[in-house]
Amino acid sequence: QKEVEQNSGPLSVPEGAIASLNCTYSDRVSQSFFWYRQYSGKSPELIMSIYSNGDKEDGRFTAQLNKASQYVSLLIRDSQPSDSATYLCAVKGWGNFNKFYFGSGTKLNVKP
């Protein structure tokens, strides 16, 4: 069983719409959750982190965490073509240093 699961997509949304990306994880004691964006041929870059249940907003991005359901999501409001990329969910458990488990990513296409 994979530690972190994401729908590979592609997820296609029109420009200006809300894109919703989902991630589930298997380790119940996971404490830290991250969303990375990766453009084709580039390295992952952190866009959001969340550590407690609820919503966390940063500009057009909102991360949502539900530890009881072992579920974390990323909403992108007013999607732009420049948001087209692969979004990687990463989860870190309690202790064990900074061993991050990444999902395989969801490819997002925002159509003009």
Partner 1 sequence: DTAVSQTPKYLVTQMGNDKSIKCEQNLGHDTMYWYKQDSKKFLKIMFSYNNKELIINETVPNRFSPKSPDKAHLNLHINSLELGDSAVYFCASSQGVRGTDTQYFGPGTRLTVL
Residues of this chain that bind partner 1 (CB under 8 A): 8, 31-32, 38, 42-46, 49, 51, 86, 88, 92-94, 96-102, 104-105
Q: Which is nearer to partner 1, 42 or 111 (CB)?
A: 42
CB 98 within 8 A of CB 90: no
Q: Which is nearer to partner 1, 51 or 57 (CB)?
A: 51
DSSP β-ladder status, 85-92 and 45-50: unpaired
- 83 phi and psi angles, rounded to 5 deg: -80, -10
Shortest distance, CB of residue 76 to partner 1, whole angstroms?
Answer: 19
Q: Which is nearer to partner 1, 105 or 110 (CB)?
A: 105
Does the CA dihedral 55-30-19-60 come out positive or negative? positive
Shortest distance, CB of residue 30 to partner 1, whole angstroms?
Answer: 9
Return the SS3 of 81. helix
Shortest distance, CB of residue 6 to partner 1, whole angstroms?
Answer: 10
